[in-house]
């Protein structure tokens, strides 16, 4: 039973951790609630569905193109919405409202284009199922977990060893000081938006393969990813990855022993308690400080 609970948690973790790390990077760099992150997540799922089922594109090519589509939407939001507001000295509230507007516009555009009904990406995997320590996974679920883990390791490596990662941490720690030392903040915001959107797009593809595709599919994962970022510690990708798994495991335990109706209620109740007791998150860092 325990091994199956862990396996089920890893299935959900495979997309929640990607979405959460992307959201956390954008928030740490820009200090605003990127509500449209959920819409980018949805774009990734719909792009994969459209390419596979409408255009007949091979799955691997379609999934790669879906990441490009998500990156394009993220870059477009940064260049056409957030950067002009940032240049005008817009408040965090104004950025939030703009992000909400972008989310609603993208969601309704997808609904008009594809309809409100739920769709799924149906692929026949050559690996019907696998067994790991007594837990059963489909071939697609096993591949999704491995892919998510590899992508997250790549992101951590980028943040740790590249000049971009160092510049990102500098902007996250002190944006004004980063400008003084010659870091192009606009370029960093754009690159972070693209990186976060690629992670969100990959999360959307995994979600579409395992669950569904629908215009509103980004809302609940977005709220859960906010919980994961806060619990793990804002600005701590490693903490976010760990907290994402803890949230997914907690959900599975609640479903097993209680009911799926209690999932969100208990998760958000724990968030409220944590905000009161330890607002800096489990990573033991200050809220305003970047941590790796």
Q: Can you give the pLDDT at residue 287? A: 42
Per-residue pLDDT reduced to its tens digit, 81-122: 999 999 998 888 999 999 999 999 999 999 999 988 888 887
pLDDT, tens digit (0-9, with 9 covering 90-100), for 151-196: 999 999 999 999 999 999 889 888 888 888 888 999 999 999 999 9
Rounded average pLDDT over 273-291: 62
Q: How far apart are CA 65 and CA 49, in angstroms?
A: 11
pLDDT in tens, 218-266: 999 999 999 899 888 888 899 999 999 999 988 888 887 777 777 778 8
At 75 the pLDDT is 96
User: pTM above 0.85?
Assistant: yes
């Amino acid at each position: 039973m325990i091994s199956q609970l862990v396996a089920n948690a890893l299935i959900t973790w495979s997309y929640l951790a990607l979405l959460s790390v992307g959201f956390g990077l954008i928030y740490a760099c820009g200090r605003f609630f990127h509500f449209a992150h959920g819409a980018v997540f949805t774009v990734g799922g719909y792009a994969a569905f459209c390419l596979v089922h409408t255009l007949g594109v091979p799955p691997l090519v379609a999934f790669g193109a879906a990441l490009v589509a998500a990156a394009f939407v993220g870059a477009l939001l940064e260049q056409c919405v957030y950067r002009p507001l940032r240049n005008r000295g817009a408040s965090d509230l104004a950025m939030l409202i703009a992000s909400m507007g972008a989310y609603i516009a993208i969601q309704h555009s997808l609904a008009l284009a594809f309809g409100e009904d739920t769709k799924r990406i149906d692929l026949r995997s050559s690996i019907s199922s696998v067994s790991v320590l007594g837990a059963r996974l489909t071939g697609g679920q096993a591949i999704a977990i491995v892919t998510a883990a590899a992508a997250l390791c790549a992101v951590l490596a980028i943040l740790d060893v590249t000049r971009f990662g160092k510049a990102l941490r500098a902007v996250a720690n002190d944006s004004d000081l980063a400008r003084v030392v010659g870091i192009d903040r606009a370029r960093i915001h754009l690159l972070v938006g693209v990186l976060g959107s690629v992670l969100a797009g990959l999360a959307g593809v995994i979600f579409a393969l395992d669950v569904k595709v629908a215009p509103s599919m980004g809302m609940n994962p977005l709220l859960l990813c906010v919980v994961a970022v806060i619990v793990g510690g804002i600005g701590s990708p490693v903490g976010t990855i760990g907290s994402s798994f803890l949230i997914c495991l907690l959900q599975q335990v609640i479903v097993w022993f209680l009911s799926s109706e209690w999932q969100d209620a208990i998760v958000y109740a724990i968030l409220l308690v944590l905000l009161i007791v330890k607002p800096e998150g489990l990573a033991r860092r200050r809220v305003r400080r970047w941590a790796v």
